[in-house]
Structure formats: C-alpha cells, structure tokens
Structure 1
Amino acid sequence: MKRLVAATALLALAGCASFVGDVRPFEPIAPVVPVAGVDPALAAQAYPGAQPAPAVGGHAASGSIYASAASGAAYGGSRSMSLFEDNKARQVGDLLTIVLVERTSSTSRAQTAVTKDSGFSLGAPVIAGVPVTYKGQSILQAEVEAGREFDGAGTSSQSNRLDGEITVTVVRALGNGNLLVSGQKQMRLNQGDELVQVQGIVRVADIGPDNRITSDRVGNAQIVYGGRGTLARSNAMGWLGRFFNSAAFPY
C-alpha cells in the first residue's frame, strides 16, 4: 500500500512538472555560419546560438555594379551573384517555404477463435459376472470431460492530416547539393499557444522556382504540431488515469 501511494505521488509530481498535454518540441539545430567582417552583436541577433566558422577572406570594394550583391552574404562575404542563378535557397541563412502535405492512414484488424473439447469415459467393469464394488459403490467407473474456448478480436484505425505552410531557414549547407533546414512558427491564441516545428534535409533540385518545397520531399523530416495551454491540457488523461492504464497496473 505504501508503495502504491509513493508511486501515485511521484506520478502526480511528474504530471505537474511537465504539464501533461503540452506539445514537446525537439531541440532546434544551431546554425554554423561564418561571421568574418560582421558585427558579432548583429550575428547573434540573426542566428541565436550560432557557432562561428573559420573566417574567410572578404571582397574588396571594386566599384562593380554587382559588388553589393557579392557582399550581400553578410555572414562570410563569399557569396557571389551569378547571372544564371535563380532565387532558390542555397546558402546558410536563406529562407525556404515548406508546404505541409502530410497524410497518414492505417488500419489493422485481427480475430482469433479457438475451441477444444475432450472427454473420457470408463464403464464399471464386470469380473466373472460380478461388478467390482466397494461397500456397494462401483470403484472403477470413471468419466472425465474438459473443454477450452478462446475468442479474441481487435480493430485499430488511425488517420492524420496536416496542411499548411511554414518558412524555415537554411542552417547548414551539406556540400552535396543538400541543405539542412529548420524553423518553427508560434501562434498565441486566446486559449493557449500553437506550435509548428519542421526540420530536415532538402535537395536544392527539389525546390520549386517560387522557393517552395512540399514536406514529402524533406528527408529525415521531424515535424511537430501541437498546442500548449488550457485546450491542450484538457484533452490529456490525468495522472491517476494514466497509472491505471499503464503496464504498472497489475490487474
């Protein structure tokens, strides 16, 4: 009894500390960007938690009409403008819009039925025309019957759909034409907050001319959508209910 009370108390404290029902976001990726020639304060504001890469040589002002574009890569100054390059995201710090088109659906059904009956009967034997008895009762007559039956069925069905758009930031250029992107959107509503988080790997070749890509083209995608606050917590099971529905409950 004492152990049960202690376990329920621990679950209660854990539930109060973690606010059961609130979405749990993943840890965002810290970008690695060169900051040579850039005010560190500005770099910290643009990329919180960024890790500076080794400094690279800057471009000297040459008076060219493309000089401003070449120095437009404020973090590193190594990005040059090409007459044949479109506006697709390619460098660290570029923005990319991901169109969420997630669809998942699953159905599972199982049914099992087992039945077994068995019986054994031994009549009263007769020896020399006389039944074998003891104190008037037959002692060798026996009859055994046994039966076993099991019937089980289970059905599971789940469907999810997520639509929308979120603009993410290129946090790393992997060097093989792939980009590591990460971003989030937070919306504060009257009854709580809504959070959308996306991160993963995209190919530059898959990015459309409008600088968009669908979420089914994102590799190693991690997508989080959920809420925090009154509405999210009202849909969560309480700590005592979770205990009685957990594997720790013996009955």
Structure 2
Amino acid sequence: MSTKLSKLLPFLFLLNGCSAARHLSDAVPPVPVALAEAPAPAAPTGGIWQASAGGLALAEDRRARRMGDLLTIRLVERIRAEKSVEQDSSRTSNRSLDLPNAWPLNKIDEGLFSGGTSSSFAGSGGASQANSLSGEFTVTVVRVLPNGALMVAGDRRIRLVRGEEQVQLTGIVRPEDIGPDNRVPSTRVADARLRFTGTGEVANQARQGWLSRFFDAVTPF
C-alpha cells in the first residue's frame, strides 16, 4: 500500500502545481470590444476646414456618443440585504378504544387499544450581506442601440508579483445620464455586469482545497 501511495503522491503534486499556474488568459476570456471603422477620406473642397480631418470642434460636446468612444464609470455601489425566518409548529393526537365488558373481551387490557402521538418543530434562520464598491473604470462604447442608448464594455487586467487580477464591466448607459466630464455613476448603468477575478498565491490560499471540497460534497452531515 505504501508503494502505491508513494507513486501517486508525485502525480497529485504535479496536478496541483499545474492548476495553480493557470493564468487569467486561460480562465476568463476578455470582453470583446468593437471599434468603429475610420470613415473614407473625403475629396478636398479647397476650404481651410476639412470635415475629414476629424477631431473635435472648440464648442463640440466631448461626451461619449459614438461607437469606439471612451466613457468613465464611477463605481458607487452600496448594497445591504437582510433576511430572517422563524417557524414554530406542534401537533398532538390521542386514540382510544372502549371494549365491552363481556368474555373474552373483558380479559384484554384496554391499554393495548389506546395511544397518542405528539410532534413539535421550531426553527429560525437569518442572513445578512453588505457590499461596498468605489472607484473609477473606463469603458468603451461597443454599440449604439436604436433608441440612442450606449452599450459599453471594459476589461482591465493587472499582473502582480503574487498573481493576476482582472475586472470586467458591461452595461447600457443613456446619453442624458452622462455628465459634462464624460462620467456616469454606476447606479445609472442598466443591466450592469461587474466581475472580479484573480489568480495566484493569494487567490489559491483563499480557496478551499480540492480534497476538502470532495469530503464536503460526499459527507451526509
């Protein structure tokens, strides 16, 4: 038995090392970003100002409105949820049978034909959760919907010494909710999807081991 175990241990350590060395590029695909194609150059008209030169005019609105424009999202998420449940129930029943006082029934103990049952249940539970998120995240307009709303998406990856972190954000923004500084609070983003993912030593230490997860899955208690 010890010989088989000694042969199996190196394989388990190798398998664990391969799983720990996985990068985010293999775990979570990046958010696809569609950029607008550059317009075809227009023929020169002989004037000083050319529309094909691009750029923004001095008095032009600098807020995002076209596919490929950048928009900054202010993360101001504060969510708190609480839930509690209490339940009490009880039930009692008695049964008895009277026998005639005649032979041979008078020889039978009436206690054999009487009985009772009772049951009770009491339970309570509670749960609370609070989340807070702050910061800024710049996204790209990937699509302009028929009603004028902007579909945005962003993907940010940071590789550190002890691992790799990734933040993904997608959602829909109304142009009228964008401020003059080209920023919009996250509370104004519809269908928002915000995802934090991490790999490396810190993420691995915060995750329960595979053997512990196996025993938690098969234990009946």
Assess same fold via TM > 0.5.
yes
Q: Which amino acid aligns with 1:72?
A: G
Corresponding residue SS for 1:91: coil
2:140 to 151, 169, 180: 169
Write out aligned runs for 1:9-24 (5 A): none
String of CA shifts for 1:7-50, please: whole Å, max 9, x gaps. xxxxxxx998766xx98646513405224xxxxxxxxxxxxxxx
Q: Does 1:97 align with 2:102?
A: no
- Following the alignment from structure 1 to structure 2, what is the Cα–Cα distance between the partners of residues 117 and 17? 60
- Following the alignment from structure 1 to structure 2, what is the Cα–Cα distance between the partners of residues 66 and 176? 32
Corresponding residue SS for 1:127: coil
Moved more, 162-171 or 230-239: 230-239
The match for 2:32 is: 29
1:221 to 192, 206, 214: 192
The alpha-carbon deviation at position 164 of structure 1 amounts to 0.8
- Following the alignment from structure 1 to structure 2, what is the Cα–Cα distance between the partners of residues 18 and 106? 35
Relative to structure 1, the CA distance from residue 175 to residue 244 in structure 2 (aligned partners, 3 Å threshold; closer, same or farther) is same
Q: Which amino acid aligns with 2:166?
A: L
Corresponding residue SS for 2:36: strand
Report the TM-score, using the length of structure 2 for normalisation.
Answer: 0.75
Relative to structure 1, the CA distance from residue 123 to residue 176 in structure 2 (aligned partners, 3 Å threshold; closer, same or farther) is closer
Q: Does 1:210 align with 2:193?
A: no
The match for 2:53 is: 71
Corresponding residue SS for 1:89: coil
The match for 2:60 is: 85
| CA-atom RMSD in angstroms | 3.4
Corresponding residue SS for 1:34: coil
- Following the alignment from structure 2 to structure 1, what is the Cα–Cα distance between the partners of residues 33 and 158? 22
Paired-residue identity, %: 38
Gaps of at least 5 residues in structure 1 are 1-13, 36-55, 74-80
Q: Which amino acid aligns with 2:196?
A: Y
Gaps of at least 5 residues in structure 2 are 1-14
Relative to structure 1, the CA distance from residue 223 to residue 88 in structure 2 (aligned partners, 3 Å threshold; closer, same or farther) is same
Q: Point out the structure with the larger helix share.
A: 2
The alpha-carbon deviation at position 146 of structure 1 amounts to 1.3
- Following the alignment from structure 1 to structure 2, what is the Cα–Cα distance between the partners of residues 146 and 194? 60
Relative to structure 1, the CA distance from residue 66 to residue 179 in structure 2 (aligned partners, 3 Å threshold; closer, same or farther) is farther
String of CA shifts for 1:179-227, please: whole Å, max 9, x gaps. 2211122223332222221111112211110110111111221111232
The match for 2:8 is: none
